[in-house]
Structure 1
Amino acid sequence: MSFNASVYRILIASPGDVADERAVIPEIVNEWNAVSAYSTKIILMPIKWEVNTTPLLGGRPQQVINDQIVKDADLLVGVFWTRIGTKTGMAESGTAEEIQQFVDSGKPVMLYFSQSPIDPEKIDIEQFGALKKFKEKMRTKGLTETYSGLVDFRHKFTRQLAINLNNLIDFLAEQLKSKGKEPSKKVTEQQKSAVIELTKPTQSETEAYLLKSFEATVRPDGWADIAAFATHLLTYTPIKYRDYGHNKLKPFLQSTGLFEFKSISKTQTDITLVEKSHKNA
């Protein structure tokens, strides 16, 4: 049965040393389409230069790629390991130029850096040094992600792609408004609600995210300020505790049985892991 859907182009950008990841990303995108396209009314189209560009003379090679696939893409997935790529005359590499074009346009970028081991003798020192500088520059522009191997990448990208779709829906709605076109609020909200439903973490995933936020904000004395914890939790993880029917953060955390609480004042509370969490960590 046919249905109307929004089609979003997902640009895959990377140097040549992450061929496995470049193959996995379209698989994950197509899995999303198979499972979620009908319920969300969203179809994702993976775009790669080796598949979606055509030969054309008369311009700078990277500019031809930019004109053919980059400018009309909606979301970019960038992946790096030990190389940054070949300089284009305008940027450190073609991938870097594509990322910069997205950043300048305000479009969403999902950026991943592999921590997979490699034989030191196979590392191009110049490329690796340039990549390190680029990585530090990107960290000043937003949140990047690392992964330890292909399995870890698949897991992280699968969930984070779904989470970022809501950001993409909001971005494209704003783009339409800026052009004097009013997006369908009903359709937009239905899509976002469907995506949220699909991205709710399981109980075990929820606990893992809670522990991750605690580890990121814990002080040397073993306690963490609940306000700092909440900021990390709601900024860097997909946990939205209000989705679980809690009006405040503290009751939600108490319901998990993972934390102990210490009241410092009427406005400040600290949390620490209970003993059983220490044993399971």
Structure 2
Amino acid sequence: MADALPLRIFLASPGDLPDERQVVRACVDEYNARRRGESNVTYEVVGWERVRGTARRPQEAINELIEESHFLVALFKGSWGSEPGSPWGYTSGSEEELFTGLLELSRAEQPMRDVWVAFLQHPSPAERIVKLREQVSRYHTMMYEAIVDIRELKTK
């Protein structure tokens, strides 16, 4: 059986989630290891750090990586993230990544298959995180997970 290219998971999150990002990567690695020999389908986690330096607006290059991805995982906890210099009004790179992934879902010719959003518990999340979660809840725009701690993230 020929090896297929891995399905790509773009991991979007502000900089305050290095442990959680590592958990997602470890879970995908474990899944791939368990399925080795059973299937030629594997998964690869990528993120903004995969993008090379560019003279363009950095978020544009990141968005191109999202356009090539099959899934997007967006994690929010305490920090909203940094300003991406967006001409569309996004106030954090993670916000722009989430909505870029959602837009890719509507484009049949693109590989994006699903977007998963998780809000991790934090004693004082940024106001914009609270507003995003309320908006998603109020308008039922998508389902999301409410994660209490990092151990729970491992099971998701």
Q: TM-score if structure 1 supplies the norm length?
A: 0.48
Q: Does residue 28 of structure 1 match 2:24?
A: no
Q: In structure 2, what is the Cα distance between the partners aligned to 1:6 and 1:65?
A: 20
| Equivalent residue, structure 1, for 2:134 | 136
Are the aligned partners of 2:67 and 2:104 in contact in 1 as well (CA < 8 Å)? no
Partner of residue 82 from structure 2, selected from 80, 83, 86: 86
- What does 1:132-171 correspond to in 2, within 5 Å? 132-139=130-137, 140-156=140-156
Q: In structure 2, what is the Cα distance between the partners aligned to 1:83 and 1:134?
A: 13
Q: In structure 2, what is the Cα distance between the partners aligned to 1:74 and 1:138?
A: 22
Q: In structure 2, what is the Cα distance between the partners aligned to 1:87 and 1:135?
A: 19
Deviation at 1:5, TM superposition (A): 3.1
Are the aligned partners of 1:3 and 1:38 in contact in 2 as well (CA < 8 Å)? no
The structure showing larger relative contact order (alpha-carbon pairs under 8 Å, at least 6 residues apart) is 2
Per-residue deviation, residues 34-69 of structure 1 (Å, max 9, x unmatched): 01143232110110212x111111x212112212x2
| Equivalent residue, structure 2, for 1:77 | 73
Deviation at 1:92, TM superposition (A): 2.6
What runs of 5+ residues in structure 2 fail to find an aligned partner? 106-111
Deviation at 1:138, TM superposition (A): 3.1
Tell me the SS of whatever aligns to 1:24: helix
Q: TM-score if structure 2 supplies the norm length?
A: 0.83
| Equivalent residue, structure 2, for 1:234 | none
Deviation at 1:82, TM superposition (A): 1.4
Are the aligned partners of 1:80 and 1:114 in contact in 2 as well (CA < 8 Å)? yes
Q: In structure 1, what is the Cα distance between the partners aligned to 2:3 and 2:11?
A: 25
Q: In structure 1, what is the Cα distance between the partners aligned to 2:66 and 2:3?
A: 25
Per-residue deviation, residues 1-47 of structure 1 (Å, max 9, x unmatched): x6433520011100011111011111111111101143232110110
Q: Does residue 114 of structure 1 match 2:120?
A: yes
Select the structure of larger CA radius of gyration. Answer: 1
Q: In structure 2, what is the Cα distance between the partners aligned to 1:29 and 1:54?
A: 23
| Equivalent residue, structure 2, for 1:39 | 38
- Number of paired residues? 144
- Percentage of pairs with the same residue: 26
Q: In structure 2, what is the Cα distance between the partners aligned to 1:103 and 1:137?
A: 15
Code of the residue aligned with 1:132 in structure 2: it is V
Q: Does residue 12 of structure 1 match 2:11?
A: yes
Structure with bigger helix share is 1
Q: Does residue 63 of structure 1 match 2:60?
A: yes
